[in-house]
A and B are shown apart, each in its own frame.
Chain A
Amino acid sequence: MPLLQCKGVARHFAGLKALDGVDMSVEQGEILGIIGPNGAGKTTLFNVICGVYPPTYGEVLFEGRPIHGLRPSAVAQLGVGRTFQISRVFKSMTVRENVVMALGKKEYASVFSALGGRPSAADRQRADDLLEKVGLIQFADQGAGEMSLGLQRRLELARALALRPTLLMLDEPVAGLSLPEMEEFMKLVRRVHQDGITVVLIEHNLHVTMQISQRLLVLSYGKKIAEGTPAEVQANPAVIEAYLGREDEEVAGSAQS
């Protein structure tokens, strides 16, 4: 049984078919990259899986159970951790508090359990361990909002890991990062994957995605146009067309960019 399955997932926004019948399955323990040109529907697919909006049609199964229509918090409770394309760290908290907050996942399941307990020294220790892992321990007491984008991305990763996810969803994790920062981040993702966490990432940067992903899924205009190993996808004419345009459109295409 695949860990995550999307069956004919569609999402329409007032006539715009952001997603138009996407089938996808993610196997336990793999790294799947989702690529595609701007506006292909990558983030929409992410948001549908994570419960930000329900699919217009189709279903999403996690560990065989339907999760479409659940709230993002319920999806998180089931073991899906995510990061955001635009950094969404808790700015008024310290770096450590950001991670501690995520460690309370089980307590947030009910208001009463959330009122009954408080973060312990063990939670702070666990948060520090995670910060150590992503290389942010020296910033633990700093305000999260004051950090550079690269460090905020790593903090988001630590926070997602604090949820003890089975599936980690990364939405353009290296967008806007410098080359060394990118490599550093991808090293982290590999390490997380080695710990047995299944990873799905959206990435604009083809080079990075090709390197890290075992399998790729290509979206264009809300549809899946290709799927396979990086080598297979790279050689697929439909993918080349989606990214570069057809040969007879080449002049028009380069004039646009």
Chain B
Amino acid sequence: MYYYVVVGIMVALYVTLTLSVNIITGYAGQPTLGHAAFLGVGAYTAAMLMTKAQVSWWLTFPAAFATAALVGLIVGAASLRVRDDFLAITTMGVGFVVVAVFQYVPWFGGAMGVGGLVPPPGVDKYVLLGLTIALAVLTGLISWHLERSWAGMALRSVRDDEAAAEAMGADIRRFKLLAFVTGCGLAGLAGPLYAVHLGFVAGPDFAFHFSMTVLTMAVFGGLGTIRGAVAGAIILGVAPELFRFISDYRNLVYGALLIFMMLFRPTGLLGVTRLKLPRLLGKKGGA
């Protein structure tokens, strides 16, 4: 039973992360290859507050959200200058920088990371599972509201055609920022849960590989939809547990899946939109 709870916590965290990357890449069409770094920002915010300032774990949630949203705002500001493939590279770079800061700045515990992160009394793995599911549901509800609002309309129009979105009166800079701040903030909110679930945080845990896992889930399930993000996170989150024998080849399988989906079903299992990476993937006519 305990095993299922542990898997459940990870899958619920994946759902939150996939839904949050879906706000940026799915709704607003802005590719981001550094999303795990924002989980890292949230997790480290919690870890530092708990170990250095003895702040209650519960109070680290708003701080984790705020810090991740703030870093998201900065990355979002960069996204106003670059598009598509350039933005993908930029966000990848942000991911590297964040991980490097955690890893090499001694205050953040250096290569050893920060350990000894225990949840407050009363929060066992079952409660943690409940909380991670609650966060996934909250992220789903926020996505649901966003999708149906005028802001959701504006984001979809930005994804489809920025010049036309502007001509309809939507300042695309504001809406791109909205997507980044919301998506990154929600990823950060998962940080405190992640931190006490594992008991320690370390920079490399939030590296490119994790970002790609989350993006693969979103693309596999189908970008631009809640059902796609949830399905992608659950299927690819549970699959490695079911197929233990291929767990050594997990990255290989994820990579192959991503290529397969791009070639044969670019909208994902249940999605509506394609990942915009024309040049990286060598689309015809690309430079």
Chain A residues proximal to chain B, CB less than 8 Å: 50-52, 71-74, 76-77, 81-82, 84, 88-93, 97, 100-102, 104-109, 111, 113-119, 159-160, 163
Inter-chain contact A108/B150, CB cutoff 8 Å = yes
Looking at the assembled complex, report how far the CB atom of B282 sits from the nearest CB atom of chain A, in whole angstroms. 22
Report chain B residues within 8 Å CB of A82. 167
Choice from A73, A74, A84, A115 contacting B151 with Cβ under 8 Å: A115
Which residue of chain B lies nearest to A108 when distances are taken between CB atoms in the complex? Answer: B170
Q: A90-B157, A114-B151, A116-B149 are in contact. Are A108 and B273 (CB under 8 A)?
A: no
B283 at the interface (CB under 8 A from A): no
Nearest first, the 4 A-B pairs at minimum CB distance are A114-B151, A72-B166, A105-B169, A107-B150
- Chain B: number of interface residues, binned into ranges: 20 to 34
| Interface-centre pick from A77, A82, A84, A101 (highest chain B CB count, 10 A) | A101
Contact partner, A72, options B146, B151, B167, B178, Cβ 8 Å: B167
Per-residue 0/1 for B147-186: is the Cβ within 8 Å of any A Cβ (1 yes, 0 no)?
0111111101101110111111111101100100000000
Main SS of chain B's interface residues?
A: helix
Given contacts A71-B171, A101-B168, A105-B169, contact A113 B150 (CB under 8 A): yes
| B175 CB contacts on chain A under 8 angstroms | 108, 111, 114
Beyond A88-B161, A101-B156, whether A111 also contacts B151 by CB under 8 A is: yes
Query: Which of B148, B156, B160, B170 is most buried by chain A, counting CB atoms within 10 A of its CB?
Result: B170
Q: How far is the CB of B58 from chain A (nearest CB, A)?
A: 27
Contact B149 A114 (CB under 8 A): yes
9 contacts between A and B (CB under 8 A): A73-B170, A88-B161, A88-B167, A92-B224, A97-B153, A102-B169, A104-B150, A115-B149, A119-B153
CA–CA, A84 to B163, complex, Å? 9
| Bound: A71/B172 CA distance, A | 10
Which residue of A has the minimal Cβ distance to B182?
A: A115
Min C-beta distance of B126 to chain A, whole Å = 35
Q: Contact check, A88 vs B149: say whether CB atoms are below 8 A apart.
A: no
Not counting A73-B167, A101-B156, A101-B168, a sample of 15 additional A-B residue pairs whose C-beta atoms are within 8 angstroms of each other reads A73-B165, A73-B169, A73-B170, A84-B163, A84-B164, A93-B160, A100-B153, A101-B154, A107-B150, A108-B169, A111-B175, A111-B178, A114-B151, A115-B149, A159-B168
Q: A101-B153, A115-B149, A116-B149 are in contact. Are A92 and B169 (CB under 8 A)?
A: no
Task: Return B80 CB to nearest CB of chain A, in Å.
Answer: 12
Residues 171-217 of B contacting A (Cβ, < 8 Å): 171-172, 174-175, 178
Q: How far is the CA of A136 from the CA of B102 in the complex (A)?
A: 56
Contacts of A97 in B (CB 8 A): 153
In the complex, are the beta carbons of A114 and B156 less than 8 A apart?
no
Contact B163 A108 (CB under 8 A): no
Minimum CB distance partner of A160 in chain B: B167
Distance of A113 Cα from B161 Cα, bound (Å):
22
Q: A89: which B residues are within 8 A, CB to CB?
A: 161, 164
Cβ of B177 to closest chain A Cβ, rounded Å:
8
Q: Bound complex: CA of A102 vs CA of B218, how far in Å?
A: 28
- The answer to whether A163 touches B169, judged by C-beta atoms less than 8 angstroms apart, is yes
Cβ A163 vs Cβ B153 within 8 A: no
The answer to the question of B272 belonging to the interface, with a C-beta cut-off of 8 Å to chain A, is yes
Residue on B with the closest CB to A112?
Answer: B151
Complex contacts, A119 vs chain B, CB 8 Å: 148, 150, 153
Residue of B nearest to A81 (CB): B167
Residues of A contacting B161 in the complex (Cβ-Cβ under 8 angstroms): 88-91
Assess the A108–B146 pair: CB atoms within 8 A. Answer: no
B158 and chain A: residue at smallest CB distance: A90
Nearest residue in B to A83 (C-beta to C-beta)?
Answer: B167
The interface residues of chain A lying within 8 Å CB-to-CB of B152 are 118
| Contact A115–B169 (Cβ < 8 Å) | no
User: Do residues B153 and A92 form an inter-chain contact, with CB atoms below 8 A?
Assistant: no
Q: A111 contacts B174, CB within 8 Å?
A: yes
Q: Using Cβ atoms and an 8 Å threshold, which residues of chain A touch B153?
A: 97, 100-101, 104, 119
Question: Contacts A76-B169, A108-B150 hold; do A101 and B163 have CB atoms under 8 A apart?
Answer: no
Min CB distance A175 to B, Å, is 17
**Interfacial chain A residues near B273, Cβ < 8 Å:** 92
Q: Which of B159, B167, B272 is close to A50, meaning CB atoms less than 8 Å apart?
A: B167
Complex-state Cα separation, A120 to B41, whole angstroms: 38
Partner of B168, one of A51, A108, A116: A108
Whether B169 and A109, one on each chain, are in contact in the complex, defined by CB atoms closer than 8 angstroms, is yes
Cβ contacts under 8 Å, B165 to chain A = 73
- What residue of chain B has the Cβ atom nearest to residue A52's Cβ? B163
In the bound complex, do residue A71 and residue B146 qualify as a contact, i.e. CB atoms below 8 Å apart?
no
Cα distance A119–B156 in the bound complex, in angstroms: 14
Chain A residue nearest to B174 (CB atoms) is A111
Q: Report A-chain residues with C-beta under 8 Å of the C-beta of B146.
A: 115
A100, A111, A119: which has the most chain B beta carbons within 10 Å?
A: A111
With a cutoff of 8 Å between Cβ atoms, the chain B residues found around residue A50 in the complex are: 167
Q: Is the CB of B169 within 8 A of A118?
A: no
Q: Which residues of B contact A163 (CB under 8 A)?
A: 168-169
